[in-house]
Amino acid sequence: MINGERLIERPLRWGMVGGGRTGQVGYKHRTGAQRDGTYRLVCGAFDLDAERGCDFGKKIGVTADRCYADYKELIAREAAREDGVEVVSIATPNFTHYEITKACLEAGLHVICEKPLFFTVEECDEVARLADEKGLIVGVTYGFTGHPLVHQMAAMVKKGMLGDIRIVDLQYTHGFNSGDDVGAGDALKWRTNPKTAGPTFVLGDIGTHLYYLSEIVLPHLKIEKLLCDRKAFIPTRAPLEDHATVLMHYDNGARGRLWVSSVNAGNMGSQRYRFVGSKASIEWSDAHPDQLIYEVQGEPNRIMHHGMPYLEEESLAVDRMGALHTEGLGDSWSNIYLWIAQAIDAKRRDDEAFLKTHHYPDINAGTEGVRWLENCVRSADAGAAWVDFK
């Protein structure tokens, strides 16, 4: 159980690019980071609108002189300080991730970047090399995967409680974009434009969450081939998609199916994961995140609750609220941020042994998400054809 005792040497000096007053995801970063004494927000370039960004920064406790007009200024001015920022979170539209990440790394700063990480695997590989050279950490905020029941699922699969994995069923859908985009806000505009969103809309926006979570639960399974059928029900979104189905064949013979959509009218909270094995299945949904359904064939179905002593140690170790008390999305983000902080701390201490076994959403996790997107797009562009995963 996590109770807020600091698990690293001292709080990291932390800054943000993006995530300003109007940004959708900024608050989740801050609530995630500022929980366990691991990060202290010291500076930011929070907004495209520099003035609004500064006003906002002050309201969240940054001193005026460290609210910057843009990330370049942030990097330059902080470099000049003795108590300069050490790690920067990037919560800006997709197309800016690559350049901001590179700039930060080059300035010797650790990075925590939003997903989808970059546009291409090539970019990812390049940045991974850079980070490696510089001895810096790049974390990726797959924010849902900090939930203790995600780690319960991974532990159960690892222990063999499901038998051989046969079927993977993944879904992340909502209906918020069922109407057309007339009068859409900024957050939707950049998401539906390939220049700012990258090669996908919902696949990258929500599908990468599904994919990363499935990698945590099934670390040893690899996709051999996949097929992606995507479509823009609102035509102005083409060539990007607001709906896609992906079929996957894994190297152990398992079959996967994945559904992402933002035109699933009326649908609330359908982030749903089901892992089927030869003996049993597990299912977890964001709609009832406190519960994990465990179904052994031929036995009564079981509902497991987070925080209960019968769970695996891997799950209990990362629980914050305790049984009967709702573990919220903010708690999940706190775990992600904590794990990244531990990685940065280890890096600072040159503790490679720790890093070898420490698990967190690192740059590889970001890269794999982008790789999966590339394969999806290649399949879709070939007419929803099967493609070998590469």
Ligand X SMILES: NC(=O)c1ccc[n+]([C@@H]2O[C@H](COP(=O)([O-])OP(=O)(O)OC[C@H]3O[C@@H](n4cnc5c(N)ncnc54)[C@H](O)[C@@H]3O)[C@@H](O)[C@H]2O)c1
Q: Return the residues of window 274-293 that contact a second copy according to CB under 8 A.
A: 276-281, 286-290
Contact 28, 333 (CB under 8 A): yes
Neighbouring C-beta atoms of residue 82, cutoff 10 Å = 4
- Site residues for a second copy, 309-348, by CB under 8 A, read 309-310, 320-331
Residue with tokens 């992906």: 246
- Per DSSP, what are the bridge partners of residue 148? none
Q: Which of 12, 13, 15, 20 touches ligand X by CB under 6 A?
A: 20
Q: Which amino acid is at 176?
A: F
**65-104 residues near ligand X, rule: CB under 6 A:** 70-71, 91-94, 96
Region of residue 157 (left: phi > 0; alpha: psi -120 to 50; beta: else) = alpha
Identify residues 46-75 at the interface with a second copy (CB under 8 A): 56, 59-61
Residues 272-301 that bind ligand X (CB under 6 A): none
Q: Which is nearer to ligand X, 204 or 277 (CB)?
A: 204
Residue 191 and residue 203 in contact, taking contact as beta carbons nearer than 8 Å? no
Q: Which stretch binds a second copy (CB under 8 A): 159-167, 212-220, 337-345, 362-370?
A: 159-167
Q: Which residues pair with 256 in a beta bridge?
A: 168, 248
Distance (Å, whole) CA 106 – CA 84: 15
How far CA 84 is from CA of 64, 76, 77, in Å, comes to 15, 10, 8
Q: Which does 34 bind (CB under 5 to 8 A by kind): ligand X, a second copy, none?
A: a second copy
Q: Which of 51, 186, 251, 313 binds ligand X (CB under 6 A)?
A: 186
Select the binding partner of residue 281 from ligand X, a second copy, none (C-beta < 5 to 8 A, by kind). a second copy
CB of 32 to ligand X, least distance (A): 10
* Nearest CB to a second copy, comparing residues 75 and 244: 244
Examine residue 44 and tell whether it contacts a second copy (CB under 8 A).
Answer: no
Q: Which of 205, 295, 312, 362 binds a second copy (CB under 8 A)?
A: 295
Instruction: Please check whether residue 81 is in contact with residue 73, taking contact to mean a CB–CB distance below 8 angstroms.
Output: no
Out of 13, 30, 35, 115, the only residue in the binding site for ligand X (CB under 6 A) is 115
Contact string 93-132 vs a second copy (x = CB under 8 A):
----------------------------------------
Q: Using CB under 6 A, pick the residue from 205, 290, 312, 314 that binds ligand X.
A: 205
- DSSP one-letter string for 221-288: --EEEEEEEEE-SSGGGTTS-SEEEEEEEETTS-EEEEEEES--TT--SEEEEEEEESSEEEEEETTS
Question: How many C-beta neighbours within 10 Å does residue 298 have?
Answer: 7
Chain residues binding ligand X by CB under 6 A are 17-20, 22-25, 45, 47-48, 70-71, 91-94, 96, 114-115, 141, 143, 186-187, 205
